[in-house]
Structure 1
């Protein structure tokens, strides 16, 4: 669907986050004075009215009848495609689209690398853009990483690197390369089941002429084995990690210790980025030295520094238990007190608990709406380290300070979303920085968003 298909139709925008605002701007740009309706929360009404006084604003969650009054509804990604009201309106003839789908409709000939994955998709996307620019390629970095595609409508780039969440993979148009970094359990509240999450995530394979996947993930390998043009990273024949280096086959290319982004998982993200460039015909070996200049993304294993006699690491982006395990692995050998918990999406914490039985950290502080469930699982497994439970992040930081030796690490890696207490993971990360004694404003946004 293209934006022109919405002209002179009954159109609503559902959601007034950044994606919703980008959609309104794009529709106004192409549709002029056309009448549009916005569905938003009651708390957003005043801001929406100031943003576009011509909008017909409806506060609250729309039901099937409200949605059914429109020919097309442009939906924000966070709104589940499986809501009963949406499905009912769809059956009655209302079409649902998104900013992502509209951008692809407007740009059928764009050269696109789209990246998804339960973990690693943001860092891998940023790495691909960073390395492509190091080769002199005019590259756009946008999508779920923090810049809606419609904000770059009509802007030219030689290469588009687009991060897609599992909410968006089915909205992508045909593209040159799809990259899947990992596949674990996540977002069950949106998708409704693990199987549906996996199926939605892998819709990217349907859009991608070539598919690049992580060879270290058996489930991912099995689920993508029928793709006609599948490539792998993480294998000895291609880009992989070996003996402290990022390697291309038998050639040691880049020392992992030179990466500013810590952890073997980030080294594997670098392998994915190099393999992606190579697969579309770019000189990955020539780009590899630029890995030394890549700065870690904020809230992703971000070292804040030392304060009060401890080291502080902000991994607020961690929204699955397996992401927390990866964070702990990156700090192996150090005394770490980890802060876990947040919004409860019903994810299985068993792998985390089992890992804690084998290699417990210095201490674990459980917080948030699923803190009690995590604590109960840990105590039931008789984990051999102090386990505390508190209500909120401030209490977790205070408790951590009493259970960490001098020069130890206090790690925020919640393994859960922030929605029980914060607007998003970034707000949670900034609050953690404040509680640790740092200037939250100094936590920069993601470098490289947009076109450069």
Structure 2
């Protein structure tokens, strides 16, 4: 469905975040007289009326009866596609679409690399854009990484590096290359089950002319084996990590020590980006030296620096136990106090406990809504753990537990919603508690056209 197809229809927008605003603006630019109804939270009503005085604003979550008044619903990614009201709307013949789906319908000629994955998707997408621009390729960096596609509807580019969340993979149109960086359980509250989450992630395979996947994950390889044009990274025949080096087959290309984004998992993200560039027929070997100038994304294993005799690392983006394990793996050899815990989504921490029994850091502090549950399973596994009520208390306790010169790592393995608006808000508060100027934690560089 294109925006022009909305003409003459009764249209509702559900969600007033950045995606919702982008949808309203894009529709208004092409169909200025089309009546639009917005469903948003009560707290957003005043801002919504100020944003577009012609909107009919309803400060409520719509039920099936409310949606039955419309022909088309344009929903934001954070609105679960499995809400009963949306399922009933589809059953009744109401078209449910999104900003992502509208963009793909409007830009069928765009050369798109769409990147998804439980972890690594933002960094991989950003590295891809950075490398392509280093070759002089006009490249767009957008999508779930922080800029809605509809904000760039009138822009042209040689390459579109687009991050898609599991909420968006089912909304994408045909893409030249789909990339899946990893696959673990995540966002079970949105998808409803682990199986549905996996199915939703893998919807990207059905719209990808070529598919690039992580060869280090047997589960992912098994679930994508039927794709007729599947490529891999992380395999010794192609782009992979070996002996502290990023390699292309037998050829050593780039020393991991020269990456500003720490950890072997970030080196593997770089391999994914290089392999994607190569699959799109650009010169990946020529682009590889630009890895040295790629700045780590904020809140993703972000070294904040040294303060009060401690090294501070902000990994607030970590929302799964496996992500926390990856963060700890990148800091091996240091005296690390790790702060875990946050909003409880019911994820399984048993693998984390098993790894902590074998390779525990200097100290573990569990905090937040699921802190008591994490602390309990760690103690049942014989792993020492401290417990505090919230992040502020955890930071204070970390200062006491960590030796001089040690590292205090925020890598919660859980979402932020128990105490903060989002992971970025949590990361900024952590940086402030550590004594850093939060204004220096800039947003993601390079969003948009470059």
Shorter chain as denominator, the TM-score bin is: over 0.9
Shift in Å at residue 410 of structure 1? 0.5
Equivalent residue for 1:443, pick from 434, 441, 444: 441
Render the CA deviation track for 1:320-373: whole Å, top value 9, x for unaligned. 110000000000010011111111111111111111000011111111111111
Q: 1:402 is paired with a residue of what secondary structure?
A: helix
Q: 1:417 is paired with a residue of what secondary structure?
A: coil
Structure 2 CA distance for aligned equivalents of residues 216 and 404 of structure 1: 34
Residue correspondence of structure 1 range 99-178 to structure 2 within 5 A: 99-178=99-178
Aligned residues: 450
Shift in Å at residue 268 of structure 1? 0.2
Structure 2 CA distance for aligned equivalents of residues 198 and 314 of structure 1: 28
Matched with 2:260 is 260
Structure 2 CA distance for aligned equivalents of residues 341 and 354 of structure 1: 17
Render the CA deviation track for 1:47-103: whole Å, top value 9, x for unaligned. 111111111011121100001111000000011100111101111111110000000
Matched with 2:71 is 71
Runs of 4+ in 1 over 4 A off after TM superposition: none
Render the CA deviation track for 1:127-152: whole Å, top value 9, x for unaligned. 00000001110000000000000010
1:37–1:56 Cα contact (<8 Å) kept: yes
Matched with 2:350 is 350
Render the CA deviation track for 1:159-179: whole Å, top value 9, x for unaligned. 000000000001000010000
Structure 1 CA distance for aligned equivalents of residues 342 and 207 of structure 2: 34
1:240–1:248 Cα contact (<8 Å) kept: yes
Structure 1 CA distance for aligned equivalents of residues 388 and 66 of structure 2: 42
Matched with 1:379 is 379
Residue correspondence of structure 1 range 229-240 to structure 2 within 5 A: 229-240=229-240
Instruction: Kindly report the root-mean-square deviation, in angstroms, between the aligned alpha carbons of the 2 structures.
Output: 0.7
Structure 1 CA distance for aligned equivalents of residues 157 and 250 of structure 2: 34
Equivalent residue for 1:426, pick from 424, 427, 437: 424
Render the CA deviation track for 1:201-242: whole Å, top value 9, x for unaligned. 000000100000000001000000000000010111000011
Structure 1 CA distance for aligned equivalents of residues 390 and 41 of structure 2: 25
Give me the TM-score of the superposition, normalised by structure 2.
0.99
Structure 2 CA distance for aligned equivalents of residues 219 and 34 of structure 1: 47
Render the CA deviation track for 1:104-142: whole Å, top value 9, x for unaligned. 000011000000000100000000000000111000000
Structure 1 CA distance for aligned equivalents of residues 418 and 153 of structure 2: 34
Residue correspondence of structure 1 range 133-282 to structure 2 within 5 A: 133-282=133-282
Structure 2 CA distance for aligned equivalents of residues 145 and 328 of structure 1: 24
Residue correspondence of structure 1 range 368-407 to structure 2 within 5 A: 368-383=368-383, 385=384, 387-407=385-405
Structure 1 residues 115-124 or 88-97, which shifts more? Answer: 88-97
1:139–1:161 Cα contact (<8 Å) kept: yes
Render the CA deviation track for 1:369-392: whole Å, top value 9, x for unaligned. 111110111011011x4x122221
Structure 1 residues 317-326 or 387-396, which shifts more? Answer: 387-396
Q: 2:66 is paired with a residue of what secondary structure?
A: helix
Matched with 2:366 is 366
Give me the TM-score of the superposition, normalised by structure 1.
0.99
Q: 1:100 is paired with a residue of what secondary structure?
A: helix
Shift in Å at residue 33 of structure 1? 2.4
Q: Is 2:10 the partner of 1:13?
A: no
Render the CA deviation track for 1:409-448: whole Å, top value 9, x for unaligned. 0000011111111111111000000000001111011011
Matched with 2:301 is 301
Structure 2 CA distance for aligned equivalents of residues 320 and 230 of structure 1: 27
Structure 2 CA distance for aligned equivalents of residues 78 and 368 of structure 1: 23
Render the CA deviation track for 1:10-63: whole Å, top value 9, x for unaligned. 000000000000001001101102210000001111111111111101112110
1:181–1:213 Cα contact (<8 Å) kept: yes
Q: Structure 2: 5+ residue runs without aligned partners?
A: none
Matched with 1:54 is 54
Q: 2:305 is paired with a residue of what secondary structure?
A: strand
Structure 1 CA distance for aligned equivalents of residues 87 and 275 of structure 2: 39
Render the CA deviation track for 1:258-277: whole Å, top value 9, x for unaligned. 00000000000000000001
Q: 2:23 is paired with a residue of what secondary structure?
A: helix
Structure 1 CA distance for aligned equivalents of residues 8 and 353 of structure 2: 55
